[in-house]
């Protein structure tokens, strides 16, 4: 049991460390692989907008100046963890 908690603490520490670097150097964290700009349509679906990527594009400043509620954060890690917990709950 102690090994499990140690693994969780190490994983949380690594996520915190990587997040810290994203705050210090946002241009390294905001890449085409990590950020997708999309628009919500009337049916609730999302259409991805094509975007030219460069480190000088000003995406970080656009995100800072966005209105409240206009940014949706999605994490593949959290999505996978949610699916895992739901599977474990259904198996019990």
| 0.75 surpassed by pTM | no
- What are the structure tokens assigned to 86, written together? 């739901």
Number of domains in the chain: 1
State yes or no: pLDDT of 7 exceeds 70. Answer: yes
Q: Which residue has the higher pLDDT, 30 or 54?
A: 30
Q: What is the dihedral of CA 59, 65, 69, 70, to 10 degrees?
A: -40
Beta carbons within 8 Å of 29's beta carbon, 6+ residues apart: 21, 22
Place of tokens 């480190």: 55
Q: Is the pLDDT score of 42 beyond 70?
A: yes
What average pLDDT does the chain have?
79
Residue 31 to residues 10, 21, 26, 27, 65, Cα–Cα distance (Å)? 25, 14, 9, 7, 19
- Print the domain residue range for 27: 2-91
Q: Is the pLDDT of residue 58 over 80?
A: no
pLDDT at 21: 76
Q: How far apart are CA 21 and CA 86, in angstroms?
A: 31
């Amino acid at each position: 049991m102690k090994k499990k908690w140690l693994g969780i603490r190490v994983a949380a520490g690594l996520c915190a460390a990587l997040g810290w670097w994203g705050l210090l150097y946002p241009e390294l964290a905001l890449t085409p692989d990590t950020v997708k700009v999309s628009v919500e349509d009337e049916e609730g679906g999302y259409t991805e907008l094509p975007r030219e990527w460069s480190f000088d594009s000003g995406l970080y400043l656009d995100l800072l100046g966005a209105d409240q509620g206009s940014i949706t954060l999605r994490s593949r890690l959290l999505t996978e963890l949610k699916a895992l917990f739901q599977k474990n709950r259904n198996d019990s």
